[in-house]
Chains A and B, each alone.
Chain A
Amino acid sequence: LAKTTQPISMDSYEGQEVNITCSHNNIATNDYITWYQQFPSQGPRFIIQGYKTKVTNEVASLFIPADRKSSTLSLPRVSLSDTAVYYCLVGDIGGTGKLIFGQGTTLQVKP
């Protein structure tokens, strides 16, 4: 499974847009890019998934350049409740589907 690199931590203020970039230089052809969010004392929660270009849902947008060696999770107008750890995962979603988590990015949203 492709290794990912993302910032360990980020700070933001309420109402701002937050962009978290993940590097995955060794991404394979069959790999998808998936982001999970984890609040303290809870299990991770799926946010968004994409293969290439841009994906948008009610929570976030995911930007993937043509070479797919990186991806950017964009959270519009964050609030205090968006304070969480965000994990970028890359892997073939077929097969066993087991997820390989890194340390993630701890986002702290300040008032």
Chain B
Amino acid sequence: GAGVSQSPSNKVTEKGKDVELRCDPISGHTALYWYRQRLGQGLEFLIYFQGNSAPDKSGLPSDRFSAERTGESVSTLTIQRTQQEDSAVYLCASRVFGGGSVSYNEQFFGPGTRLTVL
């Protein structure tokens, strides 16, 4: 596809269950980011992948959160033992790493997955 896709678009789960959120970045984009957006708030950085480098996990709020990425393709964000405060929209973005254009570091966002923890 032409853009970043995410699935599912909506996920309702019960407290304590595990969830997996998927992100398909734009083909050729080596950098991939996960963000969380609570209602009415700005985005919070969660994790960053770049090629085969170790991911930057500095934004993960707890050890219940983890993410994987296979090469330069699909990424999965996993939240274990979900809590009500995990309810938010989870956004994935990708970009071309490096380059010299004016819009260096332009990130392309997917539509997000709206997670509701009951």
A105 to chain B, nearest CB (A): 11
Main DSSP-derived SS at the A contact region: loop
Contact of A98 among B59, B103, B104, B109 (CB under 8 A): B59
Contact stretch, chosen from B13-21, B41-49, B63-71, B72-80: B41-49
Q: Is the CB of A49 within 8 A of B93?
A: no
Min CB gap B11→A, angstroms:
15
A interface size (C-beta, 8 A): 22
Q: Is A29 at the interface (CB under 8 A from chain B)? A: no
Pairwise interchain contact B109-A45, C-beta atoms closer than 8 A: yes
Q: In whole angstroms, how far apart are the Cα atoms of A102 and B33 in the complex?
A: 17
Q: Is the CB of A104 within 8 A of B102?
A: no
Sorted from nearest, which 10 A-B pairs have the closest CB atoms?
A: A43-B109, A101-B42, A93-B105, A101-B43, A97-B105, A46-B106, A98-B45, A93-B104, A96-B48, A43-B91
Enumerate chain B residues within 8 angstroms of A96, measured Cβ to Cβ. 31, 48, 50, 56
Contacts of A55 in B (CB 8 A): 102
Other CB < 8 Å A-B pairs besides A42-B109, A42-B111, 17 of them? Answer: A34-B105, A41-B112, A43-B91, A43-B109, A43-B110, A43-B111, A44-B109, A49-B103, A87-B42, A97-B31, A97-B33, A97-B95, A97-B105, A101-B42, A101-B43, A103-B40, A104-B42
Residues of A within 8 A of B103 (CB): 46, 49
Determine how close the nearest CB of chain A comes to the CB of B44; give it in whole angstroms.
8
A42 nearest CB neighbor, chain B only: B111
Q: Give chain B residues whose Cβ lies under 8 Å from the Cβ of A80.
A: none
- Asked if B93 contacts A43 (CB within 8 A), the reply is yes
